[in-house]
Structure 1
Amino acid sequence: MNKYKAILFDLDDTLLDRDRAVDHLFFIILDKYYKDLSDASKVHMLNVFKQYDKNSYGISDKSKVFSSFFHDFPPNIAMPATDMQEFWNHYFPRCFSIDEETLTLLQLIKKKVKIGIITNGTVRRQKAKIINTGLDAIFKQIIISEEVDCWKPDSHIFHLALNTLKVEAEEILFVGDDLTKDILGCQNVKMKGIWFNPHKKINDTHIKPFGEIQTLGSLLRYLD
């Protein structure tokens, strides 16, 4: 019998590769607003765009990302400032993808334990990501911060998951990439945090995860 009865997942940078989605969004922008650029220019512009995105991470309003980027690199066709947020809301969720191997793994885990998602973000964008990648067919227990008016690492959002799944905190693994929002957040309610660290970052914080994995497939060893 499994020691754990449920696994909860973060969404961005855990189940879904947000960095790859930002790359995809950037090339949509290039296609719509620029032309005749050298490969070197594209690489430089991508790095600048990703830095502006990084600076805005966790902020719902993304219009500053566009306004700053277009100021640095004037486009052939201007995007009205009033359209910037809607452009992000419409296109960015559609830039996410998920491979069949991950979907198969999640279906396997689902046969062993209950599963759910806790994600920070707006309802519109997070739901679109989940639907567009097919995760809605796998996960029925999904908590989005805007919908419940609390954000990781707030303990309340983790307590909501406990009530929804009807399991004890000690029987849950929470898998996420952010040491503070995910790992410390879940540990504050006695869940066990598994740090998803595919890039093998150095943990220079005081936060000590229960476990660390570089691939989602490594979760299976906790369920044997």
Structure 2
Amino acid sequence: MPMKTEAVIFDLDNTLINRKLAFRAYSEHFIDRFASVRDARQKEEFVEFMRVSDRDSYRDKREMALECLAAFPLKNPETTAEELLDHWFAEFYNYTVLMDGTLDVLERLKRKNIKLGLITNGSPHAQHAKIDKAQIREYFDVVIVSGEAGFHKPDKRLFELALSRLEAKPENSWYVGDHPRNDVFGATSAGLKAVWLRGFMDWHRDLDEPEHRIDSLDEIIALIDKA
């Protein structure tokens, strides 16, 4: 007899919120604010430069600021890396945008009396700001940010911590995320049923193929119903 799903835990960036779209919108604003741009083509080149420099959010932001400072012709030549960094932390969360279907999925899971958790890598300031901007905190029984926990995904201790706080067994719990190693491998190593949300990162060839994969958030409902 199948076991009842006790909990579903989500990643944040490029899972519940579309960081890819948010980063592009922020990059356009950043360039308008700080760079002297010749034309639309050059602006697009600068946007692409920032996308590559960001490394899917895994680049140290000070390093990225220094790289932009060196690469862009600035409106004010006296602009410092600290100013660029301050701008990032003050403004980026304002560009947070929900992934298609996020609210519907969270509400449907809540109606099933399933506990909900959120685990995200990053700094407490940045990640909590995005969660609140997206107005989704109320859906979660547990929110864990790696910068507060002291270790980050794929460390299985993060997943075990979430399960402990949710009072849920790993074999009766799901984890949904876009990152092959941090999300799928990490959750699997902690005994959860991991689901890879495709479309943002290529699968890592050194990892076993995922058992569960989806192309949109709402597909998680059917997976749970069939379990």
Is the CA contact 2:15–2:99 (under 8 Å) kept in the aligned structure 1?
no
Deviating above 3 A after TM superposition, structure 1's stretches of 4 or more consecutive aligned residues are 34-37, 199-203
State the 1:85 CA deviation. Answer: 2.2
Matched length:
222
Amino acid at match of 1:136: R
- 1:66-97 superposed Cα distances (whole Å, 9 cap, x missing partner): 22123112211243222232211111111111
The match for 1:156 is 157
The match for 1:27 is 28
Where 1:216 maps in the other structure, the secondary structure is coil
Q: Distance in 1 between matches of 2:163 and 2:88?
A: 33
Alpha-carbon spacing, 1:36–1:201, altered in 2? closer, same or farther (3 Å): closer
Q: Where in structure 1 are there 5+ consecutive unaligned residues?
A: none
When structure 1 is superposed on structure 2, of 109-118 and 33-42 the one drifting more is 33-42
When structure 1 is superposed on structure 2, of 183-192 and 32-41 the one drifting more is 32-41
Superposed, 1:4-153 pairs within 5 Å as: 4-35=5-36, 37-54=38-55, 57-59=57-59, 61-78=60-77, 79-98=79-98, 101-112=101-112, 113-153=114-154
Is the CA contact 1:9–1:175 (under 8 Å) kept in the aligned structure 2?
yes
Amino acid at match of 1:70: L
Identity fraction in percent:
27
Alpha-carbon spacing, 1:82–1:202, altered in 2? closer, same or farther (3 Å): closer
TM-score (normalised: structure 2): 0.90
State the 1:198 CA deviation. Answer: 2.8
- 1:2-48 superposed Cα distances (whole Å, 9 cap, x missing partner): 73111100011111111111111111112212355311111111111
- 1:136-187 superposed Cα distances (whole Å, 9 cap, x missing partner): 1222310001111111111111110111111111001100111111111111
- 1:94-148 superposed Cα distances (whole Å, 9 cap, x missing partner): 1111167421221111221111100010000000000001111222310001111
Is the CA contact 1:117–1:142 (under 8 Å) kept in the aligned structure 2?
yes
Where 1:194 maps in the other structure, the secondary structure is strand
Is the CA contact 1:62–1:84 (under 8 Å) kept in the aligned structure 2?
no
TM-score (normalised: structure 1): 0.91
Q: Distance in 2 between matches of 1:134 and 1:214?
A: 23
Alpha-carbon spacing, 1:155–1:200, altered in 2? closer, same or farther (3 Å): closer
The match for 2:176 is 175
